[in-house]
Structure 1
Amino acid sequence: MKNPLAVLATIVACSISIPILISVVSYDDIEATPKVDSKPIVQTIKKKTKQIANYETVDKKSPVINVYNHNLGKVQQMDIEEYLCGVLAGEMSAEFNLEALKAQAVAARTFVMYKEDQGKQSKHPNAVVCTDFKHCQEYKSYEYLKKKNGEKWMQNSYSKIQQAVKETKGQIITYNNKPILTLYFSTSAGKTENSEEVFAQSYPYLKSVDSPYDKNYSPKYTSALKMSNKDFVHAFKVGYSDIQLSENNLSNQVKIIDKSNGGSVENIKVGNKQIKGTDVRKILNLNSANFDLSFKDSYVDISVKGYGHGVGMSQWGAEGMAQEGYKYYEILSHYYTGTTIKDLY
């Protein structure tokens, strides 16, 4: 038989060491397991932002361009960034959000580069662009703006325009690494138009997209016109001398045939003629081709949505997006499908 004292010592040693060993193993297991916060996990979903290629990586002197001043009838050399300040002042209200103004600045700069890429212009062969909005972009000179609006406006509003141009210096919108045709207009009717449905030519970046904020922000979202039957018929007879249209029973003589994806009238039957909605817009002097007709006994009610041709960037839509927290590059990415921004200088 073993020594009883030795057995007792062994039992005591085991009774002490086993709990210690268990404690050590348990501690190691606790540390190996990640701590779980008792609070619920809140997942924040951030807006996807368009990454800008070469953003602010190029810092070169801005180029000088030839601009045909249609009011003076001569070509003027201008620093492109100074020219863009005049375009911004002519094309968009300085009261707009800075991000909308920046989007407009990039679009206007891109238009110049697109024109330069296209080569000589038939209306002004010695200049890249002109100051006539009917052909190129609206432009207001510094002197004109100061004389018209006063010193206070120049300090407050013009400085904001300069800021929008400066903070986007050199940036243009590209598709397949080439400057795009940056069409823009005042107000959409909730959707922009496919370019081919308005101008016949299709551009992959000028596609119909939703423009939901115009309705809440633009004062030009809706308009209405009331015309007597006599004036309505007269307007079409001025445009089409051989049209067969009478003042009686106009509802039986005028029918909208189809509309575009953006909601504008594509074709309409008027008497014995089938006419494009864009032509009707001109004939009746409507704000857009997105219209509906309601015939009464002696007059026609015309309800119109939007303002402008509807292709490209809606300026009031851009303002709405900016007010909702979108950045200028997000606005441009939305309205010009599949494009990227490139920093030229």
Structure 2
Amino acid sequence: MKSPLVVLTGLVICCISIPILTSVVSYSNIKQETQTKKNTSSQSSKLEKNEIIKKVINYETVNKETPIINVYNHKLGKVQSMNMEKYLYGVLAGEMSAKFDIEALKAQAVAARTYVSYKQGHKNPSQHKNAVVCTDFKHCQEYKSYEELEKVNGSKWIKNSYSKIKQAVDATKGQIITYNNEPILPLYFSTSSGKTENSEEVFSIKYPYLKSVDSPYDKISPKYTSALKISNKQFVEYLNKSYGDIKLTENNLKNQVKITQLSKGGAVETMKVGNKEIKGTDVRRIFNLNSANFEIDFENSGIDFIVKGYGHGVGMSQWGAEGMAQEGYKYYEILSHYYSQTEIKDTY
């Protein structure tokens, strides 16, 4: 029989050794699991990066000479022959702030170029004779010459901002948006109310690519909301001026004015005012509202218009495009979102 002292010593050694061995094995397992997680995480990160790389598409597939177009300069009262891309420098400078993200600027450049291509295929001699487009934003697209921009903004702006505008145009040289291989009518506007509008609900013409879509980033726009307060007397006077036979009185206007139908994008489509049903777009025009997406609050002495968005609401929202660009979307993803079922085609 072994000595009790020897047995006791053995027990003590076992008690000390087992926890140590357990800790070593456990640490080894934890280290192995951690390394496995790191490897998996690294692989996942690489996959995500690869996916992002795959999304970057190069549409520059054609390299032809830039066409010359005739533009009616409404400020000078004459037709000018311009290089298409140089013309687009002036359009982009007039239609979108150079402070916008480069991807938003590229999207605007492609839309502006597409507009010219669309007009080339839908000529109307009575609009501006011997010219495809004009420089008046009320009719075609805003255009500002290099000289105008330098005079208004200064040489520093030309150096920093004009170069960014040129970059956006040059990077998309010749690219247009197409539907069934034809240039689309690329309508665009400043700010949506959170959704764009179906073309037929605003302009009574249905284009399959101008559909209502979500536009969640417009809240960054300084014109996302606006308001107009007028008296009951002014409200009645404005409407009587537009509709001479409208039966409307200043008293109890709340019971005489009802919004009867909203568009898919949330704009007022029709309203019952007195004895007439009128369009929300007409109300916008009469009261010079920023958009037809509005609510009306009635008070005893006046009326408050609470307005969302700025512009007609059809096609690409410029501030929505800016928001998408800030979130990392490329210009072609922005265009694909706002112009349904379209493709980008390089024409020269």
Band of TM-score, shorter chain? 0.7 to 0.9
Distance change >3 Å, CA 231–CA 262, structure 1 → 2: same
Which of residues 83, 89, 113 is equivalent to 1:85? 89
Pairing of 1:188-199 with structure 2 (within 5 A): 188-199=192-203
TM-score by length of 1: 0.86
Shift of 1:39: 2.7
2:114 match: 110
1-structure distance, mates of 2:237, 2:53? 52
Which of residues 167, 175, 181 is equivalent to 1:177? 181
Other structure's SS at 1:155 match: helix
Pairing of 1:303-318 with structure 2 (within 5 A): 303-318=306-321
Q: Deviations over 1:257-277 (max 9, x none)?
A: 010000000000111110000
Which of residues 247, 252, 264 is equivalent to 1:249? 252
Q: Percent identity?
A: 72
1-structure distance, mates of 2:208, 2:85? 28
Which of residues 273, 280, 283 is equivalent to 1:280? 283
2-structure distance, mates of 1:49, 1:275? 50
2:340 match: 337
- Give the number of the structure whose residues are more often helix, by fraction: 2
2-structure distance, mates of 1:139, 1:118? 20
Which of residues 143, 154, 164 is equivalent to 1:139? 143
2-structure distance, mates of 1:49, 1:172? 22
Distance change >3 Å, CA 48–CA 152, structure 1 → 2: closer
Other structure's SS at 1:304 match: strand
2-structure distance, mates of 1:135, 1:80? 18
Pairing of 1:154-303 with structure 2 (within 5 A): 154-215=158-219, 217-303=220-306
Q: How many residues align?
A: 307
User: AA paired with 2:93?
Assistant: A
User: AA paired with 1:229?
Assistant: N
Larger radius of gyration: 1
TM-score by length of 2: 0.85
Shift of 1:121: 3.7
The answer to whether the Cα contact below 8 Å between 1:90 and 1:140 also exists between their aligned partners in 2 is yes
Other structure's SS at 2:80 match: strand
User: AA paired with 1:291?
Assistant: F
Unpaired stretches in structure 1, ≥5 consecutive residues: 1-36
User: AA paired with 1:182?
Assistant: P
Shift of 1:73: 1.0
2-structure distance, mates of 1:238, 1:155? 50
Q: Deviations over 1:117-163 (max 9, x none)?
A: 11244211310100111111010011111111111110111111011
User: AA paired with 2:175?
Assistant: Q
User: AA paired with 1:300?
Assistant: I
User: AA paired with 2:284?
Assistant: R
The answer to whether the Cα contact below 8 Å between 1:105 and 1:168 also exists between their aligned partners in 2 is yes
2-structure distance, mates of 1:161, 1:39? 45
Q: 112-121 or 89-98, which moves further after superposition?
A: 112-121
Other structure's SS at 1:106 match: helix
Distance change >3 Å, CA 212–CA 233, structure 1 → 2: same
2-structure distance, mates of 1:152, 1:48? 35
2-structure distance, mates of 1:210, 1:219? 19
Which of residues 325, 329, 337 is equivalent to 2:328? 325
Shift of 1:313: 0.1
Distance change >3 Å, CA 156–CA 64, structure 1 → 2: same
RMSD: 1.6
Distance change >3 Å, CA 267–CA 232, structure 1 → 2: same
Shift of 1:47: 6.8
2-structure distance, mates of 1:38, 1:304? 55
Shift of 1:238: 1.1
Other structure's SS at 1:39 match: helix
The answer to whether the Cα contact below 8 Å between 1:229 and 1:299 also exists between their aligned partners in 2 is yes
Which of residues 14, 37, 55 is equivalent to 1:39? 37
Other structure's SS at 2:37 match: coil
User: AA paired with 1:250?
Assistant: L
The answer to whether the Cα contact below 8 Å between 1:50 and 1:330 also exists between their aligned partners in 2 is no
Runs ≥4 in structure 1, deviation > 6 angstroms?
47-51
Unpaired stretches in structure 2, ≥5 consecutive residues: 1-34
Other structure's SS at 2:249 match: coil
2-structure distance, mates of 1:93, 1:55? 24
